[in-house]
């Protein structure tokens, strides 16, 4: 089947699609709220414990639950109407984050609630990614992917940079209450602006999900099918490996609070450090979305290496301005994920779209969570700037290996026509 038209539609054309605007708005408000909550939790835990390790562990808790939710729950977006899955997850998170916002809530309870909240992220994200190809045309698809990727990073810029100010004004508990409100807004936007569609799973699979063991067998069949799909295609495996490189360059975000303290700053500096990476990523995605397909594919190799290698500059312990510049460049190079996710979409069939997406996100988030924890533990003994630089060095080696795997897999592929168009495939890596 032919690849989509390499001449991507203009952003204005994509935004003219009403349902896409609703998906765009729902993504924006939830991402902004999530980043605000990350700032609040990072500051709350660091203030209470004074430990970089504990602060990083709580930050990691926002990634690790994907190990469970990714493979086991993402398939819900194939078996049930995707809008229903998104709205249900939003309403559940309103309640859970609202409980986290209650003053005096013990940290272990906050951590437990956080894990449950994050377990609900994979089915929401999988449903959103799977729904996208039914909302926009093939020609609009690349620009739509770019816009949604950019809105994630833009929301991080606003949520991180503004998060420090809001936490200073509202306090961590007020910031968490604001996050709960964003999920309510997202549910309303989806109900008002996105058309309900039937489930995508084949009727025979869906109907076999009866009571008891039949339901369990049907569920496992979907999970197993997604695993086999991703594992059997070397191109898909290589794309997931490229996404997992983020587990190295995320070290700067993981250590934002102790890094800011090392630089002599407070909550505003934490927000600036977190926002610098996201700002660079937005700029990189805006550029890549307008680059012709053939050149985007070529950039898939050098950019993951640059995203990690630039962090070696942190070894010199530069001041805040230079550190922000390094983080911004790393973020800009990390925009390669837009290319990886678009190709992943073109290689994944619609009936397994959400499940494959969940598995890819599982690998991505677990690598990030492990990277966050390791960075936090290392920062107990080394300065944050040294840990970030060392993570950059290890990431450069890993990126080179992943890029080589992608080159080999692409060379063995039968050609671009082997990939299905977005109308029959789909999942995002980020």
pLDDT for 204 equals: 44
Q: Tens of pLDDT along 73-129? A: 777 877 889 899 999 999 999 999 889 888 877 777 877 787 788 888 888 888 888
Q: Tens of pLDDT along 372-386? A: 889 888 888 888 999
pLDDT for 326 equals: 95
Q: Tens of pLDDT along 217-270? A: 556 666 666 677 777 788 888 898 999 999 999 888 888 888 888 888 877 788
pLDDT for 290 equals: 76
Q: Tens of pLDDT along 384-403? A: 999 999 999 999 999 999 99
CB 338 within 8 A of CB 285: yes
Cβ-proximal residues to 54 (8 Å cutoff; 6+ apart), any chain: 45, 46, 376
DSSP states along 367-392: HHHHHHHHHHHHTTTS-HHHHHHHHH
The span from the CA of 236 to the CA of 347, in Å, is 8
The span from the CA of 328 to the CA of 107, in Å, is 32
Q: Tens of pLDDT along 299-344? A: 888 999 999 999 999 999 888 999 999 999 999 999 888 888 877 8
Res 191 pLDDT > 90: yes
Res 160 pLDDT > 70: no
* Average of per-residue pLDDT values in the chain: 78
- Cα angle value 179/353/15 (rounded, 5°): 55
The span from the CA of 290 to the CA of 287, in Å, is 6
pLDDT for 55 equals: 66
The span from the CA of 308 to the CA of 333, in Å, is 9
Token pair in block for residue 237: 């495996």
CB 93 within 8 A of CB 120: yes
- Could you tell me which of 339, 126, 409, 377 has the C-alpha nearest to residue 254? 377
Name all contacts of 92-100 with Cβ < 8 Å and 24+ positions apart.
92/120, 93/117, 93/120, 93/180, 93/183, 94/180, 94/181, 94/183, 94/184, 94/187, 95/180, 96/120, 97/37, 97/176, 97/177, 97/179, 97/180, 97/183, 98/177, 98/180, 100/176, 100/180
pLDDT for 95 equals: 92
What is the value of pTM for the model shown?
0.68
The span from the CA of 277 to the CA of 282, in Å, is 9
pLDDT band with cut points at 50, 70 and 90 for residue 142: confident
Alpha helices per DSSP H over 316-417: 320-333, 336-346, 353-378, 384-412
CATH numbers and ranges of domains, the chain: 18-194+220-418 (1.20.1250.20)
pLDDT for 59 equals: 64
């Amino acid at each position: 089947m032919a690849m989509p038209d390499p001449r991507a539609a203009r952003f204005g054309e994509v935004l003219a699609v009403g349902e896409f605007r609703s998906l765009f708005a729902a993504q924006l408000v939830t991402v902004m709220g999530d980043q605000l909550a990350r700032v609040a939790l990072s500051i709350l835990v660091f203030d209470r414990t004074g430990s970089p390790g504990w602060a990083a562990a709580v930050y990691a808790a926002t990634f690790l639950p994907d190990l469970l939710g990714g493979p086991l729950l993402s398939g819900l977006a194939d078996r049930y109407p995707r809008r229903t899955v998104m709205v249900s997850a939003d309403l559940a998170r309103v309640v859970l984050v609202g409980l986290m916002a209650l003053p005096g809530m013990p940290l272990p309870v906050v951590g437990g609630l956080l894990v449950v909240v994050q377990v609900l992220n994979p089915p929401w994200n999988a449903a959103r990614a799977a729904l996208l190809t039914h909302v926009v045309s093939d020609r609009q698809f690349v620009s739509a992917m770019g816009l949604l990727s950019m809105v994630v990073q833009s929301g991080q810029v606003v949520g991180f940079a503004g998060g420090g100010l809001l936490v200073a004004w509202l306090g961590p508990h007020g910031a968490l209450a604001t996050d709960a409100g964003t999920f309510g807004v997202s549910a309303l936007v989806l109900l008002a602006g996105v058309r309900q569609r039937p489930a995508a799973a084949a009727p025979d699979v869906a109907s076999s999900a009866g009571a008891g063991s039949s339901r369990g067998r049907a569920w496992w069949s979907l999970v197993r099918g997604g695993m086999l799909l991703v594992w059997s295609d070397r191109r898909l495996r290589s794309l997931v490996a490229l996404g997992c490189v983020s587990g190295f360059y995320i070290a700067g975000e993981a250590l934002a609070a102790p890094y800011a303290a090392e630089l002599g700053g407070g909550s505003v500096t934490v927000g600036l450090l977190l926002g610098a990476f996201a700002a660079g990523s937005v700029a990189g995605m805006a550029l890549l979305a307008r680059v012709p397909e053939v050149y985007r594919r070529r950039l898939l190799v050098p950019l993951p290496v640059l995203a990690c290698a630039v962090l070696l500059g942190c070894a010199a312990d530069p001041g805040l301005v230079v550190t922000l510049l390094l983080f911004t460049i790393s973020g800009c190079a990390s925009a390669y994920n837009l290319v990886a996710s678009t190709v992943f979409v073109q290689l994944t069939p619609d009936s397994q779209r959400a499940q494959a997406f969940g598995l890819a996100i599982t690998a991505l988030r677990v690598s990030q969570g492990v990277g966050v924890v390791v960075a936090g533990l290392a920062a107990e003994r080394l300065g944050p700037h040294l840990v970030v630089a060392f993570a950059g060095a290890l990431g450069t080696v890993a990126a080179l290996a992943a890029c080589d795997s992608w080159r080999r897999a692409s060379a063995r592929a039968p050609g671009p026509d082997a990939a299905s168009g977005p109308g029959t495939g789909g999942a995002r890596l980020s």
